[in-house]
Amino acid sequence: MPELPEVETVRRGLQPVMEGALVTRVEQRRPNLRYPFPTGFAEQLTGRTVTAVARRAKYLTFHFDRDPVLISHLGMSGSFRIENGEDAAVPGTFHHERSKDAAHDHAVFHLRTAGGSSARVVFNDPRRFGFMLFSEASALAEHPMLVGLGVEPTGNTLDGSVLNMLLRDKRAPLKAALMDQRLIAGLGNIYVCEALWRSRLSPRRMAGSIASSKRPSTPRTEALAQAIREVIADAIAAGGSSLRDYQHADGSLGYFQHRFAVYDREGEHCPREGCPGTVSRIVQSGRSTFYCGTCQR
């Protein structure tokens, strides 16, 4: 499933084309994805102007000059394709390549951009685990898909003191706690593994063991918060750099996995300078965890 940096690079790729654009026509090519399309899906969006393309955790939200707000999730295989004249691009960088097969194009947004040109934005999803739902703007934070989501791991919102508060009473393994969307929104398996390696923390240790009930933060919560912010920022930057090179994008540029330290590198030498360890793989909560047992404690 695409993780937060992938979704953010999709948002950044869509933003220049969609923001300020008038939706002139919408094609809904099937009745449902993971969930049924909202009643009157095409009719309710036609004639609306896109005011913002935003993101909350792994959800994209499309805001218009009046209700509704469109909430979209990419699921396992979903992507948006921008078609402008003869050019077609799939914004975003993904761990697994995205489909461009028109047989899986399920929703097509015909746009007149802010600059006056015509464009199409196509939602493609072979496995149909993605979805598109509506919400009133005033009730967006209370929508069932968004309510209860934790702090965003981008910017400076997540710091050592916030992480200390979130983890100090947690008896779950550290990795499991970091993937709890009620605590930190949008942080997934790949980047948790990478952040734990950067902060030299074992995914096996209890989450509460790095926090303090007597101090606002600890050196470990500060180091982990910094590592989370940096790994997400680095991954987004890798996606952003590839977007500038898209013509007929094939997913070959800007892939952050070329710089993975531990994820999917079982049996390889730990890349930390001076560490003699080897990357191991264990299963936690049904997900693969990659880490170095020598330098991560």
Selected catalytic residue, list 3, 6, 8, 194: 3
Selected catalytic residue, list 2, 68, 91, 203: 2
3 is catalytic: yes
Q: Helix (H, G, I), strand (E, B), or coil: what is residue 166?
A: helix
Strand boundaries in 125-263, DSSP class E: 131-135
Taking the C-alpha atoms of residue 94 and residue 3, their distance in angstroms, rounded to an integer, is 8
144 is catalytic: no
Inter-residue contact 293 to 280 (CB < 8 Å): yes
Q: Helix (H, G, I), strand (E, B), or coil: what is residue 250?
A: coil
Q: Helix (H, G, I), strand (E, B), or coil: what is residue 49?
A: strand
36 is catalytic: no
Selected catalytic residue, list 48, 58, 168, 229: 58
H-helix segments, 121-198: 160-167, 174-178, 189-198
Taking the C-alpha atoms of residue 145 and residue 34, their distance in angstroms, rounded to an integer, is 13
Structure token digits, residue 67: 């209700």
Taking the C-alpha atoms of residue 10 and residue 114, their distance in angstroms, rounded to an integer, is 19
Selected catalytic residue, list 12, 120, 281, 287: 287
Taking the C-alpha atoms of residue 84 and residue 92, their distance in angstroms, rounded to an integer, is 17
- CA of 51: how far to CAs of 17, 18, 21, 54, 215, in Å? 11, 8, 8, 10, 43
58 is catalytic: yes
Q: Helix (H, G, I), strand (E, B), or coil: what is residue 230?
A: helix
Active site residues: 2-3, 58, 287
